[in-house]
Structure 1
Amino acid sequence: MITLKDVGVAFKGTQGTINAVEKVNLSIDKGDVYGIVGYSGAGKSTLVRTINLLQRPTKGSVWVNGQNMLALSPKELRNARKKVGMIFQHFNLMDSRTVAGNIAYPLRKSGLSKTAIKEKVVELLELVGLSDKYDAFPSQLSGGQKQRVAIARALANDPDVLLCDEATSALDPKTTLSILELLKELNKRLALTIVIITHEMQVVKEICNKVAVMENGHVVENGDVVSIFTQPKELITKEFINTATHIDQALDKILSHPTLLNLQENDTLANISYVGTNTSEPLISHLSSRFHIATNILYGNVEILQGTPVGNLLVVLSGDPVQKQKAFAYLESKNVSIDTLKNQSEKIVQFKQKIS
């Protein structure tokens, strides 16, 4: 569906050339909800704009629906762009036009009759849940409603791809979830391929099946969401994941209240992570019954990623060191990962830095 090969984007400025994107290779399949996550300045928005050539790459190639976008004539490019819808953080609605007028705007040169355009607008408003806002103006809408109008407008030409550039960043958490639910529904109902640019791993967790992590213009890690969340390789990826699973916040609270930690000589602070069917097994009770290891759960979290349960526990393990090692081996045999730290304050700080 979308293939980026060795894509680079460079800008020339007064202080020299700035490489906003460098040697990016991505393959996005039809029907994917593909997240591209990174901090501000990582190059993610520049990268997504190369897909419809709003930003022409200075290097590499861009293929969409089997077409080499860089080889298209201006007329061919205009037609190709109609099949790539786009929504933005600040909606970009025209205040002087009604909701219907905003949605109909991309159809003004479509050759459709006024009646057909009106029917299309009514259909799109129903699709995004705003049937009663046909004659309203943007100033009369909430932020979430404005974004729904922007989505309807982006769908006016029946695109195969929808690009979302920080589309939920201006919305409150509840409205964000409602927009993500709408995008999920559109992905399924319309077989729409969606590319989401975001700096929030929470968004990726809620909707995406695949994700790429960007840093300093490079894609440093990419893959399916479950693999990235459970086996991150890069430090920046771990940082994003911890913000979504709240492990870093939990550890901050624990470390700021020594009475919660209260480690003894043979105690071990550990982060236990497990995936899939292991989340339903009584692993913690087995540590006690089989190995006589007491487990104090300080924090627990279970996510459902693409239908797969993913669990994290911050625990203090107490008991005989030999038995504890046997318990660790048992957990590892169940494909449970364990990050451990003994009771030295300096190492606790290191542990905090490791998972944050």
Structure 2
Amino acid sequence: MLELKNIDVVFRQKKEEIRAVSDVSLTINKGDVFGIVGYSGAGKSTLVRVINLLQRPTGGEVIFQGKNLLSLTPRQLREERKKIGMIFQHFHLMMARTVYENVDFSLKYTSLSKKQRDEKVLALLELVGLSDKKETYPSQLSGGQKQRVAIARALANDPEILLCDEATSALDPKTTQQILALLKSLNQKLGVTIVLITHEMQVVKEICNRVAVMENGQVIEQNSLIHIFSRPQQALTKDFIRTATHTDKALETILQHPSLAKPDQQSELVELSYLGESASEPLIAQLYSKFQVETNILYGNIEFLQQVPFGTLIVVLKGQRTQRQKAVAYLKEQQVTVTMLRRDTASEPALLKSIGGG
């Protein structure tokens, strides 16, 4: 449906060149909820503006439904842009117009009759849950309600794809969940493809089926949501996931505990991540029966990614070194990712070292 090929965006300021996006290639399929995640300055917002050519790339191609947007005339590009809706972090509503008028404005230059426009606006407000707010002005709305108006306006021309640039960043956690649930519902009901730009992996985790991670203008990793969470390859991706699963905060608390601050020869601190069928297996109990390795669970979390269970545990493995090694090898055979969070010798500092996978 949408393909970005070798996209470069270079800004020139006096004698300085700033490469905001460097050789990025992405394929977004019809019906995807595609997340592009990265910290501020990663280039993700610049990249999403390339999709509808609000930002023309310095190099590369933008192929939308088989057409290279860069080769279109201004008139042809205007027609294609109608198929690409966009919502922003700060809503961009017209404060002097009512909710109804904000949505209706997008239909001003269409061929629809006044009656048809009225029916469509009311249907869109019903869709986003704002039927009772049509005569209200934006200043009288909450942040979540303003974003719902922006979503209704973006849907007015029946877009094939909806670009969401940090659409939940200005919202509180509860409202964020409500807006994400609405976007997921629109994706399922209308079949609209969604590209979601965010700096929060927690947001990606909620509704995306595919993910690209950006750093310094480049896509450093991309895959399905499940693959990204279960087999992250890059350090930044792992950092995002640990934040989204709250593992980093749990580990910080654990390492501050006096009894865990100093390792001994018989124990080590380990993080276990498991997906799918492994989540329902009694693996922890089997470590003692098979290898005489005791397991003390310090933190545990399980959630569902695309209806697939994904779990994280922080545990202390205690037993003879050779037996612990056998236990870790067994876990890897069961498709559990094992990360050693601390060496088992007192002379070495606490550290993160991934040793597992499968």
TM-score past 0.5 threshold? yes
| Greater shift in the superposed pair: 174-183 or 301-310 | 301-310
Cα distance in 2, alignment partners of residues 258 and 123 from structure 1 = 60
Equivalent residue, structure 2, for 1:23? 23
Shift of 1:289: 2.0
> How many angstroms apart in 2 are the aligned matches of 1:51 and 1:219?
15
Offset, 1:42: 0.6
- Residue 211 (structure 2) pairs with residue 211 (structure 1): yes
Q: CA 1:295 to 1:48, structure 2 compared with 1: closer, same or farther past 3 Å?
A: same
Aligned-partner Cα distance in 2 for 1:84–1:19: 25
CA-CA distance at 1:264 after TM superposition: 3.2
Distance of aligned partners of 1:15 and 1:353 in 2 relative to their CA distance in 1, 3 Å threshold: farther
Q: Which amino acid aligns with 1:320?
A: Q
Deviation at 1:260, TM superposition (A): 4.9
133 and 352 in structure 1: CA distance in 2 versus 1, 3 angstrom threshold: farther
Alpha-carbon distance in 1 for matches of 2:87, 2:20? 21
Amino acid at match of 1:137: Y
Amino acid at match of 1:26: L
Matched position secondary structure for 2:351: helix
- Native 8 Å contact 2:343 2:350 kept in 1: no
Query: Does the 8 A contact of 1:99 with 1:135 survive in 2?
Result: yes
Q: 1:290 to 1:268 in 2, by over 3 A?
A: same
3-state SS of 2:36 partner: strand
Change (3 A) 1:230 1:345: farther
Residue matched to 2:11: 11
Name the counterpart of 2:350.
Answer: 349
Q: Tell me, yes or no, if structure 1 residue 336 matches structure 2 residue 336.
A: yes
Does the Cα contact within 8 Å between 2:9 and 2:21 map onto a contact in 1? yes
One-letter amino acid of the counterpart of residue 351, structure 1: L
Aligned to 1:81: 81
Paired residue for 1:142? 142
In the alignment, which residue of structure 1 is the partner of 2:110? 110
1: CA distance between counterparts of 2:331 and 2:349? 22
- Where does structure 1 differ by over 3 angstroms across 4 or more consecutive aligned residues? 260-264, 343-348
Structure 1 equivalent of residue 165 of structure 2:
165
Instruction: Quickly say closer, same or farther: Cα 1:129–1:347, change in 2 above 3 A.
Output: farther
Q: What's the offset of the Cα at 1:113?
A: 1.2
In structure 1, how many angstroms separate the alpha carbons of the residues matched to 2:217 and 2:333?
A: 39
Question: How far apart are residue 329 of structure 1 and its match?
Answer: 2.1
Q: Deviations over 1:36-65 (max 9, x none)?
A: 011111100000001100000110000111
Higher mean C-alpha deviation, range 66-75 or range 334-343:
334-343
CA contact (8 A) 1:251 1:352 kept: no
SS at match of 2:135: coil
Aligned twin of 1:60: 60
Give, in angstroms, the shift of residue 346 of structure 1.
Answer: 6.4
Does structure 2 conserve the Cα–Cα contact (< 8 Å) formed by 1:35 and 1:195? yes
How far apart are residue 238 of structure 1 and its match? 1.0
Q: Relative to structure 2, which stretch is displaced further, 303-312 or 41-50?
A: 303-312
Counterpart contact for 2:263–2:346, Cα < 8 Å: no
SS in 2 for 1:101: helix
> For this pair of structures, how many residues does the alignment match?
354
Instruction: Decide whether aligned partners of structure 1 residues 167 and 251 sit closer, same or farther in structure 2, where only a CA change above 3 A counts.
Output: same
SS in 1 for 2:79: helix
Structure 2 CA distance for aligned equivalents of residues 53 and 166 of structure 1: 18
* 1:27 match: secondary structure: strand
**Shift, 1:290, TM fit:** 2.1
CA contact (8 A) 2:88 2:164 kept: yes
Structure 2 portions without partners, runs of 5+ = none
Change (3 A) 1:25 1:259: same
CA distance in 2, matches of 1:88, 1:345: 51
Q: Which residue of 2 aligns with 1:248?
A: 248
Q: Residue 100 and residue 39 in structure 1: after superposition, are their counterparts in 2 closer, same or farther (change >3 A)?
A: same
CA distance 1:210–1:118, shift in 2 (3 Å): same
**Structure 2 residue aligned with 1:126:** 126
Cα drift, residue 321 of structure 1: 2.1
What's the counterpart of residue 183 of structure 1?
183
Query: Residues 156-211 of structure 1: CA distance to partner in whole angstroms, max 9, x if unpaired?
Result: 00000000000000000000000000000000001110000000000010010001
